[in-house]
Chain A
C-alpha cells in the first residue's frame, strides 16, 4: 500500500521568505506524485505533478518540486512567499500497482501555510 507523510501540519513564513513544504512517500512501484492547494472556501487545485522524465517539476504560481527517488521525497518549494500563498497544501501519490483503478490518490495529512508580513 502507498502512503504519504507531510512533515509539519503548520508552516509559517514571512512574506518574501523561502517556502519549503516537505513530503515523503512510500510506494512499491514507480510513483506518480502531486501537489494540490486548497485556498479558503475553494476546492483542490493542482499545483504540479511528477509522472516521468525531469525530476524537477515546475508548477503554477512560482512553485516547484523535486522528485528524489533515493530519499523518497517530493518537497514543494517557492523562493519568495506572497501573502496570497496562504492556503492548505496536500501532497498525494497515485495508486497504481497493476490494478485498474487509475487515478486513485492517496493524500498526506495536509500542511497549512501561513504567510505573515
Chain B
C-alpha cells in the first residue's frame, strides 16, 4: 500500500514567486493535515481537512497560503507570493478516522527554499 506522497520533494524559488505543493494521502483516508517546520523550529500544524472540508485552519500563517482538497482526494498548498520566511519543510499527513489518539501517517516532506 502506498504511503503519503508529496511533490515536489525539493523546490527553490525566488521571493515573490508562487509555489504549489501537492499531497496524495493514503487511499481511503478522510483526514489530511499539513504541517510545516521552518529552520531551527518545531513542526507546526497548518490545517486539517476532513474529506474536502477544512476542519481547522488555525495554523495557517497568513492569506498568502491557500490549501485545497478537491473531491476529498489529493490536496494542494499554494504559497503566493512566497517570502523568505516561508522556507522550510512542508509535511503532509493523513489518517483514516477522526478521533483522538488516531495514528497519523506522514509523508517525506516538501523542502521549500525561497531566495
Q: Given A107-B42, A107-B44, does the pair A36, B106 have CB atoms closer than 8 Å?
A: yes
- Residues of B13-69 at the interface with A, using a CB-CB cut-off of 8 Å, are 31, 33, 35, 41-45, 48, 55-56, 58
Task: Decide yes or no whether A7 CB sits under 8 A from chain B.
Answer: no
Check if A42 sits within 8 Å of B108, measured CB to CB.
yes
Check if A103 sits within 8 Å of B43, measured CB to CB.
no
- A residues within 8 A CB of B56? 99-101, 104
Measured in the bound complex, the distance between the Cα atoms of B103 and A104 in whole Å is 11
Check if B100 sits within 8 Å of A100, measured CB to CB.
no
Chain A contact patch, size range: 20 to 34
Task: Decide yes or no whether A26 CB sits under 8 A from chain B.
Answer: no
Selected from A44, A49, A96, A108, the residue in CB contact (under 8 A) with B42 is: A108
Chain B contact patch, size range: 20 to 34
Selected from A32, A103, A107, A109, the residue in CB contact (under 8 A) with B98 is: A103
> What does DSSP make chain B's interface, helix, strand, loop or mixed?
loop
Q: With CB as the reference atom, state the residue of chain B lying closest to A42.
A: B108
Task: Decide yes or no whether B4 CB sits under 8 A from chain A.
Answer: yes
- A residues within 8 A CB of B3? 43
Measured in the bound complex, the distance between the Cα atoms of B102 and A106 in whole Å is 14
Q: With CB as the reference atom, state the residue of chain A lying closest to B55.
A: A101
Check if A32 sits within 8 Å of B100, measured CB to CB.
yes
Q: Mark A74-96, 1 if CB is under 8 A from B, else 0.
A: 00000000000000001010111
